[in-house]
Amino acid sequence: MAPLLDVRDLRTYYVGFGGTRVVKAVDGVSFSVDAGETFGLVGESGCGKTTTCHSIVRLLAPSARIVSGAIELEGEDLVPKSQAEMRRIRGRRIATILQDPMASLDPLFSIYDQVAEPAYYHQSLRGQALRQRVRQLLSAVRIPSPELRMKDYPHQMSGGMRQRIVGAISQAGGPRIIIADEPTTNLDVTIQLQYLNLLKDLQRATGVALIFVTHNLGIVAKMCDRVAVMYAGKIVEMQSVRGLFYRPRHPYTKALLDSIPKLGVKEPLCGIPGQPPDLSDLPTGCSFHPRCGRAMDRCRVEEPRQDDLDGAGTVRCWSPVEELAARG
């Protein structure tokens, strides 16, 4: 069966004034997402996760451009689409949840107006049918007294409730896939857990696929079926969540896992030395080699190819980790 979303060799670059500085934010990214699946994108800030997502929905800054690659949604390539065509696709077939709900919600419009808009535009609902749909969506994201709260404005709601409203908006057009870009970043820990459970409940009820973008590996373990680890604009490892946690193959993935505190273990945390590279001035060879304890001469001069892990995933490394990770 063909995947719901198939991204192949995507390259998105930011070009500075006069073309003198090129930032390779996404540099040859490939992955697929099946219907009903939760796919994770994980990595440090600045690794290209958000630009990958913005490329998929074609909402890029003026300085960014998709240089090459294909983004096929249900077999239809989105890269050559015009913005007018993308407006008919965004919300109806693919939707987004951003990490800052105040960047998504208009303070001048009521909650009703903002939740109703995708249903009005993409599902042609009007009158009482539209009002009933808004009420259902607000109830689905557990907004209390939805008939009353739909009259409110964003500033009258807490941060957690605003993020739920954004979740309701993402569902309003009936999309097949939702991109959630670090949606719990601005929520406290208890509200984060409630929101994650809410997303899983919505997914079970609707069958929607999720792309979950985060730097939090604990969230990945709870939410995702498969996960891709990004570093310097590339996917360096892609596995099932269980495979990634119990047998990480890329040194960067293992370093991320080793930096997580373990309950009952009184040992210093393992940090990753150095800083992520400047995407406009990448090192030769493997981009991770200046920070990697396993780097060889080959790593410094030759970019590693993407190798298959016996059908279980992929890794981009000349010296992959082989030992089984101990997880307490």
**CATH number of the domain residue 189 falls in:** 3.40.50.300
Query: Which residues on neighbouring strands pair with residue 5, listed in sequence order?
Result: 33, 73
pTM tops 0.85, yes or no: yes
Out of 224, 258, 288, a domain closes at 224
Looking up tokens 């959630």, which residue turns up?
180
* Tokens linked to 38: 């939760």
Q: pLDDT tens across 97-109, in order?
A: 988 888 889 999 9
The mean pLDDT of the chain is 92
Query: Which residues on neighbouring strands pair with residue 22, listed in sequence order?
Result: 15
Q: pLDDT tens across 38-91, in order?
A: 999 999 988 999 999 999 999 999 999 999 999 999 999 999 999 999 999 999
Confidence band (pLDDT; 50, 70, 90) for 267? confident
The answer to whether 238 and 32 have CB atoms below 8 angstroms apart is no
Phi/psi for 80 (5° steps) reads -80, 0
Confidence band (pLDDT; 50, 70, 90) for 326? low
Q: Is residue 197 located within the same domain as residue 263? A: no
Q: Is residue 156 located within the same domain as residue 17? A: yes
Task: Show the domain range for 307.
Answer: 230-315
> How much is the pLDDT for 328?
47
Query: Which residues on neighbouring strands pair with residue 23, listed in sequence order?
Result: 14
Looking up tokens 């590693």, which residue turns up?
304
Mean pLDDT of the 186-211 span: 91
Confidence band (pLDDT; 50, 70, 90) for 18? low
